[in-house]
Amino acid sequence: MKGYNVAVVGATGAVGHEMIKVLEARKFPVKELKLFASARSSGKKMSFCGESLPVEELKSSSFKGIEIALFSAGAGRSVEFAPHAVKSGAVVVDNSSAFRMDANVPLVVPEINPQDIKLHQGIIANPNCSTIQMVVAINPIHQVSRIKRVIVVTYQAVSGTGMKAIQELERQVKEWVGGKKITHKVYPHPIAFNVIPHVDVFYDTGYTQEEMKMVHETHKIMHDDKIQVSATCVRVPVFRAHSEALHIELEKKLTASQVKDILSKAPGVKVQDDPQQNLYPLAIYTAGKYDVFVGRIREDIAFPNGIAMWVVADQLLKGAALNAVQIAELLSA
């Protein structure tokens, strides 16, 4: 099997760490791995397959000889440096929002639209984490009975914001236990012992950018812009793994039993659904796992042909690093 020269951009971040671990765990055919980050991380050592690799400062000249570049360093960095990587001959898999809605850039979830990879012009976009786990769960149903409408509420872990948010939640818990005043910097309010209905910036419509990402990205990935999507995205005091409550309206009726059967055979999905035994997906047990877990599957009583369900996934893995490496695997196939 051919080996590839691979770069991870944003290697010291939460998703960058996971990209390196997933490349190793899935035995991606890496010939040489280069790690890039900002100047302040230059010289730091990171482990890969028993080797200690140096982190280098990201520069426009960094991509000589690189064939696949996995980016997770923020939209600004992607806009600045992805074109340099492409010019050097690399295919960029970008985890930021920079290129997702670009008509010339495929937005790919391998379980759903792997064929779109063939349309790339040097850059392939990784969707938003909340969108990924939702579409992995609903697309198999959509293939049997077209989805007309999705109402989704997310319960998003702080690690979706990054290392500083993880540290803030840890600090706030210690402050509360110690009887101290809870301080906050990352979020506009304390996140410990709280729920914040605010993920990303607000638009004049009252929806946030995160919520609208779920609308537009679902249309692009599933190639159906007639699906009506309404999202409310919420930050919760959970370290890792996002949860979502979905209410779906179908064109033709499917029973809960039929939906369970469909999802039990779907790639990347694990059904955990036995409420009588208190079995349903939980963030604390989903963290660190690759699959999208689905439970609480039931017929929605609010409208005809409705299905309600609960979906949980590790947003650092399937919502980011794993999905990016799966795209790289398609490129190497």
Give kind and range of the element (H or E) at residue 10.
none
C-alpha dist (Å) from residue 86 to 62, 76, 79, 114, 158? 11, 16, 12, 20, 32
The number of beta carbons lying within 10 Å of the beta carbon of residue 181 is 7
The number of beta carbons lying within 10 Å of the beta carbon of residue 136 is 27
Assigned token pair, 19: 């990209």
- Active-site residue flag, 242: yes
- Active-site residue flag, 184: no
Catalytic residue among 17, 120, 142, 242: 242
| C-alpha to C-alpha distance for 307 and 149, rounded to whole angstroms | 10
C-alpha dist (Å) from residue 317 to 4, 15, 150, 193, 209? 22, 8, 24, 25, 22
Catalytic residue among 17, 120, 129, 142: 129
| C-alpha to C-alpha distance for 95 and 19, rounded to whole angstroms | 11
Catalytic residue numbers, as ranges = 129, 242
